């Protein structure tokens, strides 16, 4: 047999039918010489198979049997290879309640492979001759690091069909290492050690592979090898985020350098004794720009000390009559209390007006000071087209919202994954 | 599920708005001027 005849599901070799020595029912033999154990689904006996002989080695309790969602004898294709489901076993981590099911698949060319399901999450395993390199407590296979996830002894609760080794007694220790969606399982006993390489496989993929319509177990929690739905995009998102941050930095530098920073008005005004009196500034010009608008920074300086000054200011376009009204004030207080000097406020404030059209303007200013005195004068400085760092930080924050949310989501996903591990790098308080 | 193409489109829009704001002097937040023009209803502003 060179494998060329295994070119369709229907061409898998037919099983030989044996008679159960205990109950007389039919036992399928598909793996022939490779089969070591056969379990009868009717009398629940497990037989050692060798040289055509069946020898009973264990009888399972039938109440331990769980439903097999893929019937024995079902044929299907995984990774382009034809397989037949030949065995089904319910395993348990010794001395714990953690239990999982495993389907044994057989192909006469590729041998036995396995579908394992725990809490609705499936992994597809193949035996590998590759030997991973130890890396601390972890292992490395072909340059990929696999982190230790679990170590346990396996116990068989129930079995049905055929198996390539003795499943009645399993003194070996199994260690699982993960690099999602891949997994390495190391099975070691006193005489030999075997490595299995597995990968996460979705229920949909299995149903399609075996053409099944049946209902599979509900998924709970995060599978040991399950990938976050956006995990594949994470490296691209990291790269894009880096480019965006760098582009924004370069843009901000260019915009800061190219900002005109043109002082269009600077004057000092005496505050009228009559508080109701207003001040009309001399006219000034805001130059035209590419889009006809620019920002305008208003700086107010007043020599306040333990006092305040506030100005109600209106910027008026002399041609259109358009007005921009705002209030701006300064306050400064200081003293000495409890042996310590203190101060709060300052005698300077600035305010940036947004999108002011070019044109000729003047200011109407109504200053206000405390009744018991205040500064006698104040200064106003208006600068057209200043660099706006606040816009840079707001844009940066918005651009980073998604990458940060994605990072939080993946971190939380990873923390949940490792909750099932005795080797979790996370601490769960 | 995350869509890289949509993410790139959104980033493009965000960066375009940022450049447009810089060129028009549009300050996203913090500008406290109140605008009034003669075409608005009279009496809105003192």
**Is the same domain home to A217 and A275?**
no
How far, in Å, CA of A370 to CA of A308, rounded?
Answer: 7
In a domain, A146, yes or no: yes
Mean model confidence pLDDT for chain A: 91
pLDDT digits (tens, 9 = 90+) for A39-65: 999 999 999 999 889 999 999 998 888
**Is the same domain home to A218 and A264?**
no
**Is the same domain home to A171 and A30?**
yes
* Chain centroid, CA A287 distance in Å: 50
Query: pTM of the prediction?
Result: 0.77
Instruction: From A222, A246, A277, give the residue that closes a domain.
Output: A222
* Chain centroid, CA A245 distance in Å: 20
pLDDT of residue A414: 94
pLDDT at residue A9 above 70?
Answer: no
**Is the same domain home to A366 and A291?**
yes
**Is the same domain home to A111 and A174?**
yes
| Three-class SS state of A412 | helix
Which CATH number covers residue A334?
2.60.120.380
- What are the beta bridge partners of residue A341? A336
**Is the same domain home to A310 and A166?**
no
In a domain, A242, yes or no: no
**Is the same domain home to A204 and A270?**
no
pLDDT at residue A13 above 90?
Answer: no
**Is the same domain home to A214 and A304?**
no
In a domain, A18, yes or no: yes
Contact criterion met (CB < 8 Å) for B10 and A321: no
pLDDT at residue A353 above 80?
Answer: yes
**E strands in A121-181:** 121-128, 133-135, 138-141, 144-163, 173-179
**Is the same domain home to A47 and A186?**
yes
Contact criterion met (CB < 8 Å) for B45 and A325: yes
Residues in A closer than 8 angstroms to B34, CB to CB, are 324-326
**Is the same domain home to A57 and A169?**
yes
Which residues from B are below 8 Å from A when comparing CB atoms? 1-2, 4, 7-8, 10-11, 14-15, 17-19, 21-38, 45
Which residue range(s) make up the domain with A312? Answer: 260-386
Mutate to test the interface with B, among A391, A394, A404, A405 (most CBs of B within 10 A): A391
Count structural domains, chain A: 2
pLDDT at residue A3 above 70?
Answer: no
In a domain, A193, yes or no: yes
ipTM for this prediction: 0.82
**Neighbour order of strands in the sheet with A348-357:** A262-270, A377-384, A293-301, A348-357
pLDDT at residue B13 above 90?
Answer: yes
Residues in B closer than 8 angstroms to A244, CB to CB, are 11, 15
pLDDT digits (tens, 9 = 90+) for A294-345: 999 999 999 999 999 999 999 999 999 999 999 999 999 999 988 999 999 9
In a domain, A346, yes or no: yes
**Is the same domain home to A195 and A273?**
no
**Is the same domain home to A36 and A173?**
yes
């Amino acid at each position: 047999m060179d494998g060329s005849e295994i070119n369709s599901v229907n061409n898998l070799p037919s099983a030989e039918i044996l008679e159960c020595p205990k109950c007389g029912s039919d036992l399928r033999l598909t793996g022939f010489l490779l089969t070591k154990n056969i379990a009868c689904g009717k009398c629940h006996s497990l037989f050692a198979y060798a040289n055509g002989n069946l020898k009973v080695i264990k009888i399972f309790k039938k109440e331990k049997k769980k439903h097999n969602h893929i019937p024995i004898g079902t044929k299907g294709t995984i990774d382009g290879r034809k397989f037949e489901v030949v065995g089904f076993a319910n395993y348990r981590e010794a001395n714990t309640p953690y239990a999982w099911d495993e389907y044994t698949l057989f192909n006469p060319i590729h041998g036995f492979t396995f579908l394992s399901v725990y809490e609705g999450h499936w992994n597809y395993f193949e035996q590998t001759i590759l030997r991973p390199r130890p890396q601390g407590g972890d292992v490395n296979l072909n340059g990929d690091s696999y982190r230790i996830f679990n170590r346990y002894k396996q116990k068989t609760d129930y079995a049905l069909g055929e198996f390539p080794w003795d499943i009645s007694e399993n003194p070996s220790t199994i260690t699982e290492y993960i690099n999602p969606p891949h997994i390495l399982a190391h099975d070691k006993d006193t005489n030999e050690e075997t490595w299995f390489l597995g990968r996460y496989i979705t229920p949909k993929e299995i149903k399609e592979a075996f053409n099944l319509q049946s209902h599979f177990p509900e998924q709970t929690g995060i599978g040991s090898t399950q990938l976050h739905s956006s995990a594949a995009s994470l490296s691209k998102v990291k790269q894009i985020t880096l480019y965006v941050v760098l582009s924004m930095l370069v843009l901000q530098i260019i915009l800061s350098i190219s900002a005109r920073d043109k002082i269009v008005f600077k004057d000092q005004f005496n505050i009228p004794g009559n508080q109701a009196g207003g001040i009309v500034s001399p006219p000034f010009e805001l130059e035209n720009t590419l889009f006809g608008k620019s920002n305008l920074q208003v700086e107010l300086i007043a020599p306040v000390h333990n006092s305040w000054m506030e100005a109600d200011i209106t910027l008026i376009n002399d041609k259109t009559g358009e007005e921009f009204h705002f209030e701006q004030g300064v306050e400064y207080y200081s003293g000495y209390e409890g042996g310590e000097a203190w101060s709060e406020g300052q005698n300077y404030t600035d305010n940036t007006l947004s999108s002011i059209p070019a044109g000729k303007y003047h200011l109407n200013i109504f200053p206000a000071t405390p009744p018991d005195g205040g500064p006698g004068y104040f200064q106003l400085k208006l600068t057209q087209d200043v660099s706006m760092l606040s816009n840079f930080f707001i844009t940066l924050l918005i651009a980073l919202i998604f990458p940060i949310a994605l990072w939080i989501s993946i971190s939380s996903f990873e923390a949940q994954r490792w909750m099932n591990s005795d080797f979790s790098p996370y601490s769960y308080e | 599920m995350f869509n890289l193409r949509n993410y790139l489109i959104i980033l493009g829009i965000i960066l375009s708005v940022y450049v447009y704001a810089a060129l028009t002097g549009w300050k996203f937040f913090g500008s406290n001027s109140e605008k009034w023009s003669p075409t608005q209803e009279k009496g809105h502003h003192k």
